[in-house]
Amino acid sequence: MKIFTSDQIKKWDEFTMRSNGISSLELMERAAHSCAKWFVQNYFEINSFAIFCGAGNNGGDGFAIARLLYKKGFEVILFADESQVYSESAAINQKKCKDISGLEILKFENANNFIFKENTIIVDALFGIGLNRPIQGKFAHLIQFLNDLNHLKISIDIPSGLMADEMIADQAVVFKANDTLTFQSWKKSMLHPETGIYCGNIHVRDISLSEEFNSLEPSNELVIDEKIIGEIYQPRNEFSHKGTYGKATVVAGSYGKIGAVVLATKAALKSGSGLTFILAPKCGYEILQISCPEAMFISGGENEVVNFSIEENSTLGIGPGLGTHSDTEKSFLNFLKTCKNPLVIDADALNILSKNPDYLKLIPKSSIITPHPKEFARLFGPTENSFARLDLAREKAHELQIYIVLKDHHTQVITPDNRVFYNITGNSGMAKGGSGDALLGIITSLLAQSYSPENAAIFGAWLHGKAGDFAAEEFSKEAMLPSDLIDQIGNVFKYLNKKVLPKNRKD
Ligand SMILES: NC(=O)C1=CN([C@@H]2O[C@H](COP(=O)(O)OP(=O)(O)OC[C@H]3O[C@@H](n4cnc5c(N)ncnc54)[C@H](O)[C@@H]3O)[C@@H](O)[C@H]2O)[C@@H](O)CC1
Ligand SMILES: Nc1ncnc2c1ncn2[C@@H]1O[C@H](COP(=O)(O)OP(=O)(O)O)[C@@H](O)[C@H]1O
Ligand SMILES: [K+]
């Protein structure tokens, strides 16, 4: 799914109106119907809504939603500033509400003294993607007041105060939603931690904007959706053998950190590689042979990996629990000097590379590095916020001709040719030591199976998050462990075969 800027979304709306022969008002009605349907499906037992409407088309959506919910028998109270200059479609929808006797429109100031029923849902239709400056004055007071209410809060299209594609200013006033019903596609600000935190759960509502515009309009930022995954995923060939699915080698571990090797290796095994090897220190031999009997062990030293004796033609995932011992560092750097094939590099291997900017040049072209934000800062320097971090990652991915998997709540896969794929699977249950080791194992295994580096990174990030979502469903976000995530990889492949492939099959 492409991510468009607010200007592109406006063009998309206009293109749709022209090509479908519909007016702005009709498109607004479509959007409002889609939201009203969602409210009815999810909150039919709640009968009270307080809807706050601005003067632009977002406010217009609010008025139209109010009318639809009122007609369905819900109690609706509207709050608006009727002295404002409304957009054409908002004015028409405001008038339609006024013409319904029994549907009250109160002034924003009245909200302060209004007694909201306990189960009233607060709906924010103050500003949408047309916001062009920080919110101040009476709107800021109103939003602060609403944020303090202990009610369920839902934003229409985007929480008021957020711009679709920009970072917010310090101290910005933004409506804090539990859910956001956004039209047609994700907006960039929903995917970054500083801004996404205001959105709650995102529900993308299909309002049938033009498919033609979507396919023609360029965007180098995308959300990894199931359409993309369906195109990448290659089901297994029944006439295959273990040689068909490549050799993956996990290079990891040091004394006290053998668990990281276990997690990365299990994740690689569960992701389908034909043969899986471990290059780890001897101190982990028994643990690894017992916990991962399908993998073959190669000793790389006593307590650290100091000898990169690599199985021929295998794809390497290097780093978890490796440590940064000077001998490990020396042998890793020497190995890099001779290595031409793409690698997957994480954790301590990245920490070694961050010691000297010249080391970065040793990374083979088309390799995949998987830093978390701190590792990223060690490698490339600090940045002010996650938007700036992404810009720097794009620069570095291009300069070094590598793929960067920038780990986050919405992990970003950055390609050397400047595209960004945001992952939307995964959850906070994965915020635990060991989750990243699993990701390294998954991506290494996919790369070994001849997925291209780009596809291995995109598919790996999605698969990892989806397995995390299945684990959270079974065990809760609190109790799930990285091992549970690894155990769910099989269910993700089942899901792919049952749910994703049939939808994407071209025949
Ligand atoms: N036909 C359409 O174009 C459709 C538009 N839709 C809705 O329309 C929204 C966009 O509508 P608009 O472009 O009218 O924009 P908004 O509804 O976001 O409002 C923009 C208005 O607020 C003013 N404004 C911007 N920042 C302000 C600030 N900080 N303080 C005070 N005033 C400020 C602007 O000058 C402008 O008049 C979308 O988010 C979506 O909700 C949907 O109904 C789908 C169809
Ligand atoms: N709140 C979260 N939401 C989604 N994914 C998360 C969250 N927290 C962590 N993760 C994922 O878990 C992994 C953690 O990686 P990392 O920090 O390297 O862990 P470790 O090195 O301890 O194994 C990353 O893939 C990250 O995207
Ligand atoms: K809004």
The interface predicted TM-score (ipTM) is 0.95
By most ligand atoms within 8 Å of CB, the mutation choice from 16, 17, 57 for ligand 1 is: 57
Alpha helices in 432-452 (DSSP H): 435-448
Q: Indicate which atom in ligand 1 lies nearest the CA of residue 127.
A: 18
Q: Give the ligand at the shortest distance from the Cα of 182.
A: 1
Cα separations (Å) of 339 from 313, 315, 317? Answer: 11, 11, 13
Structure-block tokens of residue 17? 């109106």
CA of 127 to the centre of ligand 1 (A): 5
Feature table: binding site: 57-61, 124, 128-134, 157, 160, 260, 321, 372, 407-411, 436-437
The finding on whether 476 has its CB within 6 A of some atom of ligand 2 is no
The finding on whether 161 has its CB within 6 A of some atom of ligand 1 is no
- 268 neighbors 276 (Cβ within 8 angstroms): yes
CA of 326 to the centre of ligand 2 (A): 27
Q: Indicate which atom in ligand 2 lies nearest the CA of residue 434.
A: 23
CA of 5 to the centre of ligand 1 (A): 14
The finding on whether 29 has its CB within 6 A of some atom of ligand 1 is no
Question: Nearest-CA neighbor of 386 among 187, 163, 189?
Answer: 189
Give residue 348's pLDDT.
98
The finding on whether 128 has its CB within 6 A of some atom of ligand 1 is yes
**Which residue minimizes the CA distance to atom 13 of ligand 1?**
130
Q: Kindly provide the residue ranges of all beta strands, DSSP E only, lying in 120-176, ordered along the sequence.
A: 121-125, 153-156
The finding on whether 16 has its CB within 6 A of some atom of ligand 2 is no
The finding on whether 347 has its CB within 6 A of some atom of ligand 2 is yes
CA of 79 to the centre of ligand 3 (A): 14
- 101 neighbors 65 (Cβ within 8 angstroms): no
Give residue 122's pLDDT.
98
Question: What is the chain's pLDDT, residue by residue, as a tens digit (507 residues)?
Answer: 999 999 999 999 999 999 999 999 999 999 999 999 999 999 988 779 999 999 999 999 999 999 999 999 999 999 999 999 999 999 999 999 999 988 989 999 999 999 999 999 999 999 999 999 999 999 999 999 999 999 999 999 999 999 999 999 999 999 999 999 999 999 999 999 999 999 999 999 999 999 999 999 999 999 999 999 999 999 999 999 998 999 999 999 999 999 999 999 999 999 999 999 999 999 999 999 999 999 999 999 999 999 998 888 999 999 999 999 999 999 999 999 999 999 999 999 999 999 999 999 999 999 999 999 999 999 999 999 999 999 999 999 999 999 999 999 999 999 999 999 999 999 999 999 999 999 999 999 999 999 999 999 999 999 999 999 999 999 999 999 999 999 999 999 999 999 988 887 665
By most ligand atoms within 8 Å of CB, the mutation choice from 257, 318, 435, 443 for ligand 2 is: 435
Feature table: binding site for AMP: 407-411, 436
CA of 25 to the centre of ligand 3 (A): 18
Domains, the chain, ordered by start: 6-219 (3.40.50.10260), 229-233+242-504 (3.40.1190.20)
CA of 428 to the centre of ligand 3 (A): 26
Q: Give the ligand at the shortest distance from the Cα of 156.
A: 3
The per-type count for the chain, helices as H runs and strands as E runs, is 19, 17
Q: Indicate which atom in ligand 2 lies nearest the CA of residue 426.
A: 4
By most ligand atoms within 8 Å of CB, the mutation choice from 65, 67, 81, 127 for ligand 1 is: 127
Structure-block tokens of residue 324? 């940064």
What is the spatial distance between Cα 223 and Cα 190, in angstroms, rounded to a whole number? 11
Give residue 506's pLDDT.
62
Cα separations (Å) of 326 from 304, 355, 363? Answer: 10, 12, 19
Give residue 101's pLDDT.
87
**Which residue minimizes the CA distance to atom 21 of ligand 1?**
56
Q: Indicate which atom in ligand 1 lies nearest the CA of residue 135.
A: 29
The finding on whether 241 has its CB within 6 A of some atom of ligand 1 is no
Q: In this structure, which long-range contacts are made by residues 339-343, counting pairs with CB atoms below 8 Å and at least 24 apart in sequence?
A: 339/364, 340/364, 341/315, 341/316, 342/315, 342/366, 342/367, 342/368, 342/447, 342/453, 343/315, 343/316, 343/317, 343/318, 343/367, 343/368
pTM (2 decimals)?
0.97
Question: Nearest-CA neighbor of 342 among 297, 391, 405?
Answer: 405
